[in-house]
Structure 1
């Protein structure tokens, strides 16, 4: 009997073995029979239908490399649903993939035992069955991994949201202590340190929430309103200088710097660009922020001297969770590697562009070009 016919005729027997194996490895002894057997029948019958479909030698070679012209919709749908459900009921990835290993071995064993004599076609059947199971395994694993990522992102979103309230309480309480003016010099210094750290943590939480928002498929929301970019830049530099009194930050302004943008988002952009320049800039050399407006656009450039960005890092400089080699070696940075990612998100939300140039002679310059009027993209 051909393997596809064998699977269809004995599908219930095969699924019984699937259920018994799933029962052994399940992390939850209370799972019912339907959950343990979920999608097994659909996967097997879809695999049998795929095996009965004609396939050329070139198509087989391409499929072996994961480059087949088309997937099997019913097989992929059942496998993806299986991966999602196994994640939801507590299976880990090793347990889930072991089900497919057992399924493959079970079907081959039962079928081979039923054969009277080997035939060349039977070997071809085995290849086709293995291809179908590999496709199901790949789809199921991808769906499982997506569920893991989504669960992690939702957890981070909840964590970031819940951290905002206690951080705000710390900031407000510290501000009240400082304003009372009855602290001695040491206590005043400690309070200022708490205030600065709380502000830094708030920025990190905000960056984390923006990362999660983007990973969950939501674009960065903006609320454009008339504003002056030069005024915002000066305020951001003043705040940075208050946190690092030794820094030498210079602002130059040319032309009309008025526009319609989201002030809060541009504050994020400025804080991250300035913070990045201060962190990586050479000590005792100034960082320079230039704002210039011409025609229908305004350009912002942030420059610092110091070690250049390695050429092989320029392509991923705006990717999330990317930190420089020096930061990794030092192990002392509190950065999440999200600052420049947030900058790019803000620029994209305003339909602008951003570029970076970095070399030993000229230092590092980030150049942002914003249309004078940004519109909300629905």
Structure 2
């Protein structure tokens, strides 16, 4: 008997054994129904049997073994993906879910070999095709499981970031009231200033975290463009960034029309992150140069600092999320989650602009942002 026919005839028996094995793995077997344990096992097996009956040339078989083969079986893929999602939902870990497929593979082969009167000349080919189908199902289930893990993590981070804002606001407001209502000596005022600075840094980190999660859960950052002046936003962002750093020496240069239709809140966020990055890595002098020049169709913004250059090997991943500098990785104190430049890139992309960075020991580091004066999303 061909293996595909055996699977169709014995599918209920095989699924019974799947259920028994799944119950031995389940985190809370007593709370799981029979339907939960069996899940998509029947659909996976029947889809695998159908897949085995499709014609396949030796060349296609070799290509499929390399992951380059013909189109997968839609029914098999859908059932396996749903299985991966549901196993994550009920608390199976990835090792347990993988063990289910290992057991299924061994169970089917064992039952087939034991009950078939004789193995025909196509037996080896049947086992190859069955293994291909199970491998495909396992890959789809694993991918779906991993996606659920990633989404769950992002939702957790979103909730965490959202809930952190309330205590941070309470700390900030209490500090302001303390400074206004009490006559504090110089030492106490210094403590209050440190609390204010720490609160600002924490609020910035929470904001970056929420933007990171929002971009992962959606399709990029949402924007609400309106007429604004980039030069005035840049000056305000520079004043705010330097307010708590007396050693900051900003240099602003504006040339041409700096007006455009952009999302002011997002642009301010981009400016704060670029300026903050320049101050953090600009060496002991805290010197930052910001220039804006406008042409008929676009506005060019550059932010420059003269600190140590960015290593060439790090330039390719500079805008990736959760990437931090080598100094931070060595354990020095940091107020960054490694999301600042990722947020900058997301803001620029949302406005259909571009961003580039150049960095060397002699000329320092320069970020160059080009924004179309009117974003295509506003047309």
State the partner residue of 2:327. 326
Contact 1:164–1:205 under 8 Å retained in 2: yes
TM-aligned CA distance change 1:164 to 1:377, over 3 Å: farther
Q: State the match for 1:14 in structure 2.
A: 14
The alignment's TM-score, normalised by the length of structure 1, stands at: 0.96
Cα distance between partner residues in 2 of 1:278 and 1:68: 52
Residue aligned with 1:332, SS:
coil
- 1:126-149 CA-to-partner distances (Å, cap 9, x unmatched) read 111000000000000111111111
After superposition, what is the alpha-carbon deviation per residue over 1:317-365, rounded to whole angstroms, capped at 9, x for unaligned? Answer: 1111111222211342231110001101111122211111112221110
Q: TM-score, normalised by structure 2?
A: 0.96
> Do the aligned partners of residues 74 and 353 (structure 1) sit closer, same or farther apart at CA in structure 2, a change above 3 Å counting?
same
Structure-2 change in CA distance of 1:285 and 1:218 (3 Å): closer
Alignment of 1:79 onto 2:68? no
Q: Distance in 2 between matches of 1:137 and 1:131?
A: 10
Pick closer, same or farther for the CA change 1:146–1:233 going to 2, 3 Å: same
Match of 1:223 in 2: 224
Retained in 1: the 8 A contact 2:201–2:335?
no
- How far residue 115 of structure 1 moved from its aligned partner, in angstroms, is 3.1
Find the aligned partners of 1:143 and 1:224 in 2 and give their Cα distance: 36
Aligned residue pair count: 378
Pairwise CA distance, 1:284: 2.1
Q: 1:365 to 1:83 in 2, by over 3 A?
A: same
Gaps of 5+ in 1: none
Q: Does 1:5 align with 2:5?
A: yes
Distance in 1, matches of 2:221 and 2:42, equals 43
State the Cα distance separating 1:3 from its structure 2 match: 0.7
2:273 alignment partner in structure 1? 272
Tell me what 2:103 maps to.
102
Alpha-carbon separation, structure 1, partners of 2:82 and 2:55: 27
More off after superposition, 20-29 vs 278-287: 278-287
How far has the Cα of 1:61 moved from its partner? 0.7
The CA distance in 1 between the partners of 2:201 and 2:377, in whole Å, is 29
Question: Match of 1:316, SS?
Answer: coil
Contact 1:223 1:376 in 2 (8 A): no
Conservation of the 8 A alpha-carbon contact between 1:80 and 1:142: yes
Query: In 2, Cα distance between the equivalents of 1:371 and 1:176?
Result: 43
1:249-306 Cα deviation digits (max 9, x unpaired): 2211222222222221111111100111111122226221111222222211001112
Which residue number corresponds to residue 254 of structure 2? 253
Q: Conserved in 2, the CA contact under 8 Å of 1:224 and 1:375?
A: no
Partner SS, residue 330 of structure 1:
coil
Q: Which position in structure 1 is the counterpart of 2:138?
A: 137
